[in-house]
Chain A
Amino acid sequence: MSMLLTRKAEFSASHVCANPALNEAENRRIYGSAANPNGHGHNYVVEVTVEGETDPVTGMVFDLRELKEIMNREVIEPMDHRFLNREVAPFTTVVPTTENLAIEIWRRLKPCIDGANARLRNVRLYETTDLYVDYGGEV
């Protein structure tokens, strides 16, 4: 029977949600105040859920220390206290909406977590306490 393990981490970053091909009024209609050209920031919270079998020897689904290191290396260190649009690929060309950010976090974590006994199941990304997205790798 599979077990779900969820680990949480936080990072703070700034962004602008605007498509450079559109004018300011159009961007404001689509993204609201998130389109402010000079940017704004959030305290993002990411919850990473790993699914797997409990190892009969260790009693663990996934080594929590390793999961922490993967999340730190792939997500927190590159994104914490950064301006996503300027400093974090692919957001120099992709609009850093919460949806696109969750997809990118999934893309970074997936190859580091998936293995014989466990796999990445879900990324939940809170932009604020009142808005979050769940991404499970849907195409």
Chain B
Amino acid sequence: MKLTRRYRFAASHRLDVPSLNLEENRRLFGKCNNPYGHGHDYVVDVTVEGRPDESGQIVNRAALDDLVRERILTQIDHKNLNCDVTELRGVVPTTENLAEALKSMLVRDWPLAPRLSGVRISETDRNTFELRT
């Protein structure tokens, strides 16, 4: 059985590859290359998989919320993804790379009984990326 919990954070970013010139970056990233950056209200769905324990739950909601808050939301909410997040140093903060970063922030020393099954992130409600673990 799987349980999915939704979280939200707001962050700014700029998509830019330093080794490419301005024109190439504009062609590659369009408006997302705007030099001053821009932001999104991201939505993150965290899915865990396991069997309900004697409480009838796969996971204690507060334990999952605390873990996501501590490892992700406090690090990333109302931050600049290009400057403020250690896990994103040196990578272009596309939603794909963000999904990878969020997964590795969560999965390292995973403390909960159910396994981490997937991380899904929406940059806007038109673009969603999903990583299964």
Chain A interface residues toward B at CB < 8 A:
17, 19, 30-32, 94-100, 102-103, 129-136, 138
Roughly how many angstroms separate A134 CA and B56 CA in the complex, as a whole number? 14
Residue of A nearest to B5 (CB): A131
Q: Please tell me the number of chain B residues within 8 Å of chain A, measured between CB atoms.
A: 16
Roughly how many angstroms separate A56 CA and B5 CA in the complex, as a whole number? 39
Residue of B nearest to A95 (CB): B56
Q: Are B6 and A97 in contact (CB under 8 A)?
A: no
Q: Are B5 and A130 in contact (CB under 8 A)?
A: yes
Question: 10 A-B residue contacts at CB 8 Å?
Answer: A32-B61, A32-B62, A95-B55, A97-B55, A97-B56, A99-B56, A131-B3, A131-B61, A133-B2, A136-B1
User: Which residues in A have their C-beta under 8 angstroms from that of B4?
Assistant: 131-134
Q: What is the CB-to-nearest-CB distance from B124 to chain A, in angstroms, rounded to a whole number?
A: 17
Residue of A nearest to B7 (CB): A130
**How would you classify the secondary structure of chain A's contact residues: helix, strand, loop or mixed?**
mixed
Chain B interface residues toward A at CB < 8 A:
1-7, 51-52, 55-58, 60-62
Q: Are A138 and B3 in contact (CB under 8 A)?
A: no
User: Which residues in B have their C-beta under 8 angstroms from that of A131?
Assistant: 3-6, 61
Q: Are A129 and B6 in contact (CB under 8 A)?
A: yes
Q: Are A99 and B6 in contact (CB under 8 A)?
A: no
Q: What is the CB-to-nearest-CB distance from A18 to chain B, in angstroms, rounded to a whole number?
A: 10
Q: Are B58 and A94 in contact (CB under 8 A)?
A: no
Q: Are A99 and B3 in contact (CB under 8 A)?
A: yes
Q: Are A30 and B60 in contact (CB under 8 A)?
A: yes
